[in-house]
Structure 1
C-alpha cells in the first residue's frame, strides 16, 4: 500500500514540476521585473523542492529495506519496557536503552545493524532527529 502512495507522490511531483516550469516561463515572458523575479524564483524553488522530496523518498526506501532485512534475521530490538499510549518509550526507560544501544553501535562502528537498532530505539524514544541520523548512517554503512 505504501508503494502506491510513493508512486502517487512521484506522479504528483512530475505534475508539480511541469506546472511550475510552465508558470515560470509565463511569468518571465510577461517581462516586468516582478514577474521575472517570480519566474526565476519558481525555476529555483521547484527543483529544490523536488530534490528534497526525492531525497526523503530514497531515505524511506533505504530504511524500509534495512528494516525488512533486520526483521527477517530476527535482529530488531525487542520491546523491553511498557510503552506510552502513543507508542513511545517512557522517559525513564528511554535513556538507559539508548545508552545501551549507543554503546553497541560504538563497539561495532562498521555494523549497519547496530546503527539501525540504535535508530529504532531513538525513534521509539521520540528523538526523531537522532533516529534519522542513525538510520541514515546505517544506510550508508550497508551500501559500503
Structure 2
C-alpha cells in the first residue's frame, strides 16, 4: 500500500510539474511567476515524502533491532480499552518503569527507543516523536 501511495504521489508531482512547465513556457511575467511558484510545490512534496519515508524506515530498523535484542516493549499483558489502546493507568505505570530504565542509561538507544514507545502508549505523541528521533540518532552514532 505504501509503495502504491508513493508511486501515486510521484505521478501527481510529475503532473503538477508538467502544468507548471506549460505555464512557464507561455511567457509573460505573471505566467513565469505562477509557473515557478507551482514548480516549487512538487519539490516540497518530494522532500516531505522522502523525509517521511526515511523516518519510517529508521523507526522500523529500531523496532527490528530491539526485537532481535529481546528488548521491544511488550504491552500484550496490559489491560486495554475497547478501542485497543492501553488503559491510561497501565500506560502510566509502564511509562514510570521505562523512564526509570532510561534514567539509569540515558546514552542507550534501546532505552531511548523504549521511552519513545512508552510516551506513545501514554498518549503523548509529540514527545514520542521527539524521543524516537533521539533514539534514531543514538543508534546511528553507536553503529
TM-score with structure 1 setting the length: 0.82
Q: Which residue of 2 aligns with 1:28?
A: 24
Structure 1 Cα separation of the partners of residues 9 and 68 of structure 2: 33
- Please state how far the C-alpha of 1:11 moved relative to its aligned partner: 2.6
After TM superposition, the structure 1 = structure 2 runs for residues 66-105 of structure 1, keeping only pairs within 5 Å, are 66-79=62-75, 81-105=78-102
Structure 1 Cα separation of the partners of residues 12 and 133 of structure 2: 27
Structure 2 Cα separation of the partners of residues 76 and 85 of structure 1: 24
Structure 1 Cα separation of the partners of residues 37 and 124 of structure 2: 34
CA contact (8 A) 2:13 2:45 kept: no
RMSD: 2.0
Structure 2 Cα separation of the partners of residues 103 and 51 of structure 1: 37
Q: Which residue of 2 aligns with 1:6?
A: 2
Listed one character per residue, the Cα deviations across residues 38-83 of structure 1 (whole Å, up to 9, x for unaligned) are: 3122221211111111111011111111101111221112225312
Unaligned runs of 5+ in 2: none
3-state SS, counterpart of residue 86 of structure 1: coil
The one of 111, 115, 118 equivalent to 1:118 is 115
Structure 2 Cα separation of the partners of residues 57 and 45 of structure 1: 18
CA contact (8 A) 1:81 1:93 kept: yes
Unaligned runs of 5+ in 1: none
Number of residues of Structure 1 aligned to a counterpart in Structure 2: 140
3-state SS, counterpart of residue 93 of structure 1: helix
TM-score with structure 2 setting the length: 0.83
- Please state how far the C-alpha of 1:14 moved relative to its aligned partner: 3.1
